[in-house]
Every structure is written in C-alpha cells, then in structure tokens.
Structure 1
C-alpha cells in the first residue's frame, strides 16, 4: 500500500494508534514523530511518568493525551486508552510500545491485513525471536505464552507477547480482571473465546539496551501471569470447551454431528477409537470431580480427539453412578479382605468410604475393561462404516 492508501484506509476503518508510556523519554519523541507520518489519530496514555515525558508531550497539542497521576500498570493504561478511543468514535486501535522496540513503519502491515480480512479481527505482531539481540528470557517467555494460548483457545500463534497489535474495539471484552503486563494475555484469550479471529502479522523489532527501558519484573510479573493462566485454563476446561461442544451440537442434527464431527473429524480410525476408549477409562476411573479436566487436558497432551473423549467420559453421568460404584466394589472384592457382600447394603458414597481400597481397585479394573471393549468395538465399527484408504 502507498502512503496515501494507508492514510485513506486508516480513516475509512476508523483506526487510531494508542501509545501507553512510562518513563520512556529517550525514545518517546521518535516513536510519535514516526507515527505522525501515517496519522494524527494518536492517543498517548502517560502512565504516571516521573521523567521528562510531560515536557515532550507538551510539543504535541494536536494529539489526545491522557496523563495519569501515578503508575498503575500497562494493562490499566491500555484499558483507559481503549475507553477513550471508543468515545472518540474509533473502531480499531493499533497499540505500539514507546520504548523504541517497535517500528512505526510497520503500521501499514496491520492496516493492509485488516483491509484484506474485511472482518473484525485481532492482529498481533510476529517478531523474529531468533534474531541477534533478543533476550533469551523474552524468547522463552514467548514460547511459554504461545503454548498456554493454544491450550486455552486452540489457536496456534508464533508470537502472543508482542505489544504491537490491532484491536477491534467493539469486539474485545468490556471489563477485565488484570491491570498489568498479564492484561495483554487476558485480552487476547477472552477475545478468542468470543470467536473473534486472532492472527499474527510479521513485524520488525529492535532491542537496544542503550535506549530501551523494560518495566517487566521477572518474579512478580511471571507469578501474576502464571496465576492468570491457571484461572484461564480452569475456565477453558470447565466452561469454554463444554460450551463450544454444546453450541456445535445444537447447530447440527444428531446424524450430521456424527458424520462431520465423529466420522469425518481429524485423525485415523484408530485415533478416534482410542479417544473414545480413553474417555470411557476416565469416566469409570475413581477421580470424581476431575473427569472433565483430566480428559480434556490429557487429550490435548496425547493429541486425541477432545470431542470424542469428552463425550465418552460422560458414562459417569449421575444416573449411572450407583451402578458404577457397585460394579467397582464387586470387581475389587476378590483383592481385599473383609466383607465383600455389597449387594445387601445401601448404594451410596458411604459404602465407598468404608470400602475405599476395594472400590479403587475395582474401578480401575472396570475402567480398563470397559475402555478395551470400547476401543475394539469402535475400531471394528469405524473400519466398517468409514474404511480408511
């Protein structure tokens, strides 16, 4: 795109550039001047800077400048900037760090990608993390973040930590729980949960130790990020995946669901059969309360069909629980001493508590046996109705 085309697209798509800044007086002016080559739709959020930031910003009366009395974190600054951008009528915001690591001349990359997609999308700059000068801790942190983003959303990205992004302002969540660095993880995960596409676009990056000021606190911020990912993973396992599964099921007839999501889903017949068998094994196992978390997380690790495994794990629905308990106790009776006559007793969890070892042994025998039967019968069925070439 030519410079004129970029400026026109920025106007048509109602794009602004949002720059959160905190004590980056060495690079701030250079960043602003280069952004001005493309647009004056710039919002600066001065997050309580104590250096000469205020004096620098005084030279730009044409820009929207928000100065906060004290530093409260990048996430808080971005949230304030997003609210201001929406009030000013913008539909998209390109965020760029003020520490000089991002090149404003990559703004056309985001604008062109948005124009081609022609839909609401969240774009994240993809840095070359293997180039010289990239701190090893940044490269490791990015790989760590990429894995958890994939686990939480199913979307594979090469860079999830870059602050150079384009946000669809009317599609991102309205309320957030994190005010600091971890905010940039929260927002992309929760936006993806709303079925908004999240993609990478290639950008350049510069790490100049003489100019760049990092406010990342390794121990505190990594701890906050880990806590956030723990919460997001829990929500993913207990709500997002079951919600998506239920919504997908509702949109299709049972026959179409079986044909498209079971018979024609990714994976070989053996993988599908093993996924169902694995789900059955977890469903009959004695890990009550953790079945969903176990079956989804382990399915991801072992690259199984998560939908099939989740369906099969529901063999332990409440109406079947008494029968599972009794079958487990019956199968475990020969391996322990004591009263094995469980048919004359009330079938409840007290019975399990009083015969716990017997129940655990029996439930593992039951889980193994039923999963083996499921695997063999499913594989024979799939090979018959959907033979592989």
Structure 2
C-alpha cells in the first residue's frame, strides 16, 4: 500500500500516533520524521525529559505536544496521550517507542490489519522476533514471563505482550479505569481490554536493539517487582470475579437448558475429562473451603487441564439454600466415622459449639465430598461415554 493511500486510510479510520518519550534525544528526531511520512496526526508526550528533547520538539510545531514537568513513568505518559487523542476526536491510536527499536514503516501493517478486520474493537500488539541475536536475554525472558501471566489472566495466548508498538481502540480504552503509571501499565491495559471483550492480537514487526543509541529506562528490580505485584492482583481478580462473571453471563444468555447442552454435553472434551471436571467441582464445593472455593477449583482445573467451566458450575453446589444440609451431612458423617454423638444445632447456634466439633465436621465433610465426587464422577463418565457413542452413530 502506497504512502498516500496509507495517509488517506489513517484519516478515514480517525487514527493518530502517540510517541511517549523520555531522554531519547539520539533517536527521537529520526522516529518523528519517519512517522511523519505516514501521518501528521502525532501526539508526542515529553515525560519530563532532562536532555535536549524540548529543543528537538521545538522544531515540530505541527505536532501536538504534551510536556510533563517531572518524569512520572511511561504508563502516565500513555494515559495522558490517550486522553488528548480522545479529546481531539480520534478513534484509534498507534503507540511507538522513541528509542529507535521500532520501525515506523511497520505502521501500514497495523492500518491494513485494522482496515481488513470486521471487528474494529481490536487491540494489536507488534510481535518482535525475540530469538534474534541482538535481543537481550533479560528481555526475552521477561517477555515469556509476561506471556504466561497474560494467558493465565485472560486465556489468550500471545507471542509478545511487552512490545510498546501497538494499536489501541480508544472508545474501549475510555471505558476502563487504570491504577498504574509506569511500565506495568502496558500489562494492565491489555488485560483489562481483554476482560472488556476487546480482541487482542499480535502482528509481526521488525525490531532493532542498538545499544549505542538505545536508552532503556527499565529498572530490573523495581519495575519487575511492580509487574509481579500487578500480575498477582490481576490473577486474583481473574479467578474471583472475571471467570465467574463470564460464566454467569453465558449462563444467563443461553438459559440453563441450553447452557447444559452446549457447555457440558456438547463440549468436545473426552468423557473422562468431563467426568473428572464434575468430580473436582463437587469435591471442592462440598469440602470446607468456604471463601476459597472459586479460586481453588479454577486453579486446580488449570493445573490438571480440566474443563474450567464444568468444574466451576458443579463447585457451586454449596449455594446458601444447600449450606445447612451440607453442614449437617458433614457433621453426621463425621460423628459416624469418629463414633461420636451428633452435636445439637441449637447448641451450635447458641454457644458456638461448632468450634468444639470442628474435627468432626472436617473429617465428615471431606469424607462426604470424596464419596459424592467419586460416585457422581463415575456415573457421569458412564453417561458421557454412552452419550458420545450415540452421537457417533447418529
């Protein structure tokens, strides 16, 4: 696609380019000149640079500029850039680093991919070849680390989650609330975008690591610690809120009958995997893991590669109407095994006698959970095996 065509398409799509910069005076001018070949819709965010950045930007009066007095972090610079882009009426923003590692002639790749996509609610991340010799080993390791956690938090597999060369859908970004302001922001934004329903994808780009020009402001210990804390929080939110939310949305949309037919019976998993997923859900739901059942069942389903949806659904057997029955059966089973007298529920309510009978309840609860999960698991396996055979012959 020719430059004139790209320029026209960028205007049609209401797209701009945001360039966050901090003490990259060696490469900034080259980056801006190359971006100007494709569009004049550029927003430069000077994040408190102490070098000659201001003098360089003084030569570009045609470019929208934001000058932050004191360095606050790349995430804050991007957030300010997004805010200005939205106020100027842009629908999309391409972000490109000013340290020279990205090639502005890859901008047409983002534009063509967006133009050809039916779904414009799209966030594109430039995927670098992290195996080439010039790429620092710490960058390659950090990217793999980030890719894993992104998959855990969203279920989406990406080749590169750390590249700063991206295309953002601003209407979706405007709906999100962010808390981070430094390098970890670029993780927060793509995770929350995926949670919102934005399609997050990689496209291949070129990359250059020239240590004679490139200035990296990444501080391994501090920034890696920030990223680790953020990922820990995002994983907790994923298991306690996002996955249950998405499941209940599908359940509400399809209805209970249709949900069971499509998510359970119609699932392509093997009968053994489905039955084991049910057994896991029942065991966690009936065991005394109050308050931790959701995160436990989803974590174990991931570890053992089971069906997370099925496991989660059956773990919700311990809903409020059933809790008194489950507790009673647990105590009854425990008192039978330990040959103890069943405690009175009147005493339990009045004198907190449940604490004195905790051993009885825990033994009985785990025993009951084991019996039920194994029994229902075996019955489910037989049912799914028969169902799959019938489905094969029809």
Q: Does TM, scored on the shorter chain, surpass 0.5? A: yes
Distance in 2 between residues matched to 1:232 and 1:344, nearest whole Å = 40
Superposed CA RMSD: 1.7
User: In the alignment, is the contact (CA less than 8 A) between 1:237 and 1:292 conserved in 2?
Assistant: yes
Q: SS of 2:113's equivalent? A: helix
Any residues of structure 2 matched to 1:195-234 within 5 Å, and which?
195-234=197-236
User: In the alignment, is the contact (CA less than 8 A) between 1:326 and 1:342 conserved in 2?
Assistant: no
Distance in 1 between residues matched to 2:259 and 2:78, nearest whole Å = 42
1:32: which partner in 2? 32
Report how far residue 343 of structure 1 moved: 5.2
Corresponding residue to 1:273 among 267, 272, 275? 275
Q: SS of 2:20's equivalent? A: strand
User: In the alignment, is the contact (CA less than 8 A) between 2:102 and 2:206 conserved in 1?
Assistant: yes
Distance in 2 between residues matched to 1:17 and 1:344, nearest whole Å = 67
Report how far residue 81 of structure 1 moved: 0.5
Distance in 2 between residues matched to 1:224 and 1:175, nearest whole Å = 18
1:364–1:95 distance in 2 versus 1, CA, 3 Å: same
1:347–1:305 distance in 2 versus 1, CA, 3 Å: farther
1:379: which partner in 2? 381
Distance in 2 between residues matched to 1:174 and 1:350, nearest whole Å = 45
1:11: which partner in 2? 11
1:91–1:344 distance in 2 versus 1, CA, 3 Å: closer
Any residues of structure 2 matched to 1:138-153 within 5 Å, and which?
138-153=139-154
Structure 1: tracts of 5 or more residues without a match: none
1:58: which partner in 2? 58
Report how far residue 345 of structure 1 moved: 5.5
1:270–1:136 distance in 2 versus 1, CA, 3 Å: same
Distance in 2 between residues matched to 1:40 and 1:375, nearest whole Å = 63
Deviation string for 1:240-263 (max 9, x for gaps)? Answer: 111111111111133221221111
TM-score, length-normalised on structure 2? Answer: 0.94
User: In the alignment, is the contact (CA less than 8 A) between 1:322 and 1:347 conserved in 2?
Assistant: no
Any residues of structure 2 matched to 1:296-311 within 5 Å, and which?
296-311=298-313
1:174–1:283 distance in 2 versus 1, CA, 3 Å: closer
1:341: which partner in 2? 342
TM-score, length-normalised on structure 1? Answer: 0.95
1:43: which partner in 2? 43
User: In the alignment, is the contact (CA less than 8 A) between 1:126 and 1:203 conserved in 2?
Assistant: yes
Report how far residue 336 of structure 1 moved: 4.7
Deviation string for 1:337-368 (max 9, x for gaps)? Answer: 8x433257545593432122222222221111
User: In the alignment, is the contact (CA less than 8 A) between 1:276 and 1:308 conserved in 2?
Assistant: yes
Report how far residue 137 of structure 1 moved: 1.5
1:346–1:268 distance in 2 versus 1, CA, 3 Å: farther
Distance in 2 between residues matched to 1:168 and 1:5, nearest whole Å = 21
2:95: which partner in 1? 95
User: In the alignment, is the contact (CA less than 8 A) between 1:94 and 1:166 conserved in 2?
Assistant: yes
Deviates more, 1:271-280 or 1:139-148: 139-148
How many residues were matched structurally? 388
1:286 and 2:292 matched: no
1:256: which partner in 2? 258
